[in-house]
Amino acid sequence: MVETIATGITGTDASDDVKVTVRALEEIKKIKEQNSIPETYGLRVGVKGGGCSGLSYTLGFDAEPRTDDRILEIQDVKIFVDPKSLFYLMGVELDFTDGLSGRGFTFNNPNAAKTCGCGSSFGV
């Protein structure tokens, strides 16, 4: 079983919280260290239109949050989510896998009505 850290980023209901696994947190820290990304930078998690299922997940590092971002900080890792993306990310668990079928971040989204084979896009 994967250890998950519930974040409380939405603040309404625990089932709506954006969650991050310990493996994902460890990989975020590792990437920042290997690429000399300052500790003050946060991981932006978002959603944009596109992909074979309609919406795609986005990840990237930002120096600081935007004015209307929701900010989550766990184990010295900051995560920035804009309000529009938060709507689609409620209940999502961000994980990291390193197995035979591939290596990378995965989004376990209980709200996705359909997903593509690559796992990077979804539809609601």
Residue 86: give its domain's CATH number. 2.60.300.12
Number of domains in the chain: 1
Q: Rounded to 10 degrees, what is the CA torsion of 95, 97, 103, 109? A: -40
Q: Which domain holds residue 96?
A: 4-123
pLDDT of residue 73: 87
Q: Which residue has the tokens 């359909």?
A: 114
Mean pLDDT for 48-62 is 80
Q: Could you give the CA distance from residue 72 to residue 24 in angstroms, rounded to a whole number?
A: 14
Question: Rounded to two decimals, what is the model's pTM?
Answer: 0.78
Note the pLDDT of residue 32: 96
Q: Cβ neighbours of residue 79 under 8 Å, at least 6 residues apart?
A: 7, 9, 18, 20, 42, 43, 44, 45, 71, 72, 73
Helix (H, G, I), strand (E, B) or coil at 68: coil
